[in-house]
Each structure stands twice: as structure tokens, then as C-alpha cells.
Amino acid sequence: MVTEKEKMLKGLLYNPSDPDIRNEFIEAKRKVRLFNNTNEDELELRTSILKSILGSMGKNAYIEPPFRCDYGKNIHVGDYFYANYNCVILDAVPIHIGSYVLLGPNVGIYPINHPIDKDIRKIWVEYGQSIRIEDNVWIGGHVVINGGVTIGQGSIIGSGSVVTRDIPENVIAAGNPCKVIRKITEEDKKFWENRYNLER
């Protein structure tokens, strides 16, 4: 027999009030509260608590408190990942975030969906769709990323965007719904290398 937790992780309809799921939810909330109540000079403690929350965490990854998640164990982040204030990740399903990914303040990663039919919705079941953010992505402030989305490596998502479908690699995309504005080119690279060298 398939458990409610197995259904949850597979993206099937599941009951979030199942005791096993609920216990993991409560435990994650306890750890998140401890993390959010650390002081600014307690970097080692913050890192230790964060490692106990997340499923996996690369080197020099950092999340600025306050942070919110549902379970934590289903979140996987790479090296030099950075999330600014008020990051929310509802991780009933796996969330994979690559290396050198930057999240602006108030970014919401929301893979959870509820049935369209109102009567099924009243049963209090839900389902998730995994999200993947590849390496070297920059997500602007107040961006919402919905379930089932992949954001390709090197891309930039403009502030306030709502990402409802896949975004290819090496593009600038923005809007509600989020759409590709243009490719990131060699001219961009030259411009920023020149500016960096001039302003050093």
C-alpha cells in the first residue's frame, strides 16, 4: 500500500494531515524557528541548523533569515546559493536549486496545487510538481515560481514576475506570466567585464 508521504513525494494527490507527514512538518517548523531566531554573529550555528533542515546543501550556501519551508528535507541547494530575506519554499515535492543561484527578497517557490473541482478540494487533498532552478540563475525580488517549472542555467528572472512555465537557459525573462525578453549575449559579457575592470 502506498503511504500518504510516498504519494506526496511522487506528485500524487495526498492528505497533508496524515500523522507521519504532519510530524515532519512540525519538526521542520521547530528547526526553522530556531534558525530564524539566531543572532547575526552566530553564522556557524545558522549553518548547522540549516544543514539539519535542508535535504542537501553545497558549500558556502546561505539563507538570510527569516526563512520558511514546509519540510526542508526536499530542498536541495548547490554551492554558493544565496537567498535574501523572506524566502518561502513549500517543499512537499523535491526542489532542486543549483550552484551560484541568487534569490532576491520575498521570493516564493510554490510547487503545491489544489484540485480545480471544488468538491474534491473540500476533501483537503493536494499535489505537488517539482521545481528545478539550474546553475547561475538570478531571481529578482518578489518573484513567484509555480510548480512543474525549470529555469535554465544562466537566466535572470525580473522582479515581481510569476513563473508559470519553463524558462530556457541564458535569457532575461520577466512579467506575469513570465516571458522571455531577450537572450543574454557575448556583448553583455564584454560590457560587464569592461565595467568591472574600469571600476576596480
Q: How far apart are CA 165 and CA 191, in angstroms?
A: 30
pLDDT of residue 134: 98
Task: Please check the confidence at residue 32 and state whether its pLDDT lies above 90.
Answer: yes
Strand 75-77 vs strand 82-83: parallel, antiparallel, or unpaired? Answer: unpaired
Task: Answer whether the bond into residue 66 is a cis peptide, omega within 30°.
Answer: yes
Q: Which three cell numbers stand for residue 168?
A: 530556457
Give the residue from 85, 195, 99 showing the smallest Cα distance to 154.
99
Task: Please check the confidence at residue 40 and state whether its pLDDT lies above 90.
Answer: yes
pLDDT of residue 57: 98
Q: How far apart are CA 7 and CA 16, in angstroms?
A: 10
Q: Which three cell numbers stand for residue 113?
A: 496545487
pLDDT of residue 91: 97
pLDDT in tens, 54-103: 999 999 999 999 999 999 999 999 999 999 999 999 999 999 999 999 99
pLDDT of residue 15: 96
pLDDT of residue 181: 98
Of all residues in the chain, what percent carry a pLDDT higher than 70?
Answer: 100
pLDDT in tens, 123-174: 999 999 999 999 999 999 999 999 999 999 999 999 999 999 999 999 999 9
Amino acid at 199: E
Catalytic residues: 114
Task: Please check the confidence at residue 107 and state whether its pLDDT lies above 90.
Answer: yes
Label each residue of the chain as H, E or C.
CCCHHHHHHHCCCECCCCHHHHHHHHHHHHHHHHHHCCCCCCHHHHHHHHHHHCCEECCCCEECCCEEECCCCCEEECCCCEECCCEEECCCCCEEECCCCEECCCCEEECEECCCCHHHHCCCCEEECCEEECCCCEECCCCEEECCCEECCCCEECCCCEECCCECCCEEEECCCCEEEEECCHHHHHHHHHHHHHCC
What rounded mean pLDDT belongs to the chain?
Answer: 97
Largest CA distance in the chain: 64
pLDDT of residue 200: 85
Domains identified in the chain and CATH numbers:
4-198 (2.160.10.10)
Task: Please check the confidence at residue 1 and state whether its pLDDT lies above 90.
Answer: no
* Confidence tier at 22 by pLDDT (50, 70, 90): very high
pLDDT in tens, 176-193: 999 999 999 999 999 999
Q: Which three cell numbers stand for residue 23?
A: 510530524
